[in-house]
Amino acid sequence: MSTPAADAAGHAPPARVPSWLRRALGLAPRGPHYFFYRHRLPVRIAHWLNAVVLFVMLLSGLQIFNAHPALYWGISSDFAHPLLSLTAQGDDTHLTGITQIGPWRFDTTGVLGASDENGQVVARGFPQWATIPGPRWLAMGRLWHFLFAWLFVANGSLFIAWALWSGHARNDLAPTRDDIVHLLQEIADHARLRFPRGEAARRYNGIQKMTYFLVIFGLGPLIVLTGLTMSPTLDAAFPQLLWIFGGRQSARTIHFLCAFSFLGFFIVHIVMVVLSGTWNNLRSMISGRYVIEGERHG
């Protein structure tokens, strides 16, 4: 691979910064560029509200889970055969954290099952730093969780109503046939850190459309319905919920998986934001303005 020749004065040419790194660092494009109004105000408001609400819901949900750190399938609890459990073995002088997934058991001392709390290793499903509130306080964890759950429902319902009314769901979020046909190519491009540029960056790509559509119209409603199914009062009013999810314990397990699906989505989302242009993406979600490389068309 040849390297650029030095200039007449003998100085080596400046190193070329890869395009993906320039975007991640927020460096200006080398060529022509213009600002495009990418995210409308309702999208930005719903986005930041959800970021706060889901953070509190996840950590307060882990506090609730710690009251009985095991998951089952069906109508009742099968304590001898949990799908997942975070327990501790031993005595007060030496505890071992055990994470069990089906028939497999793993030593997870210090993180899951048994972790440090005020300088002492104690039996605890998720560690103190991962729960709201930090101390063992089930009642307060439930209050935090239910309050923010209703904020999640209100925010999600208003956004979905606006998205359907404004055409955002149909025009921007719904995957097209062309998106599906080129999905594998887009996955390969993302894996090689080749992100849409120019006019293609004005709209969501196929991966974004499918992900956002499934999260907003699939994962969101599912986590709400499974949460409602765990309420005996609502089960009495709507017994169909228990039939749909195969019992309260099944609903609890699905609810737990949905919560960590949101966490997985969040992690991948942040990684993509950084790699595809940290400042450009943040600015667009704060002010709506997004830099497009190339000449403006139309």
* Residue 147, domain member (yes or no): yes
Do 65 and 75 lie in one domain? The reply is no
Q: Let me know if residue 6 belongs to a domain.
A: no
Token match 């399938």: residue? 73
Residues 190 and 56 in one domain: yes
Instruction: Tell me whether residue 42 is in a domain.
Output: yes
- Residue 289 in any domain: the answer is yes
Note the pLDDT of residue 257.
97
Q: If 0-12 CB within 10 Å is exposed, 13-18 middle and 19+ buried, where does residue 226 land? A: buried
Residue 278 CA to residue 27 CA, distance in Å, equals 10
pLDDT in tens, the chain (298 residues): 444 555 555 554 455 666 656 655 555 555 566 678 888 999 999 999 999 999 999 999 999 999 999 999 988 888 888 999 999 998 777 899 999 999 999 999 999 999 988 888 899 999 999 999 988 899 999 999 999 999 999 999 999 999 999 999 999 999 999 989 988 999 998 888 888 887 778 888 899 999 999 999 999 999 999 999 999 888 888 999 999 999 999 999 999 999 999 999 999 999 999 988 888 899 999 999 888 876 565 5
Maximum alpha-carbon separation in the chain: 84
DSSP assigned state of 136: S
The residue segments making up the domain with residue 110 are: 70-125
User: Are 136 and 227 part of one and the same domain?
Assistant: yes
Residues 26 and 39 in one domain: yes
Q: Does residue 223 share a domain with residue 151?
A: yes
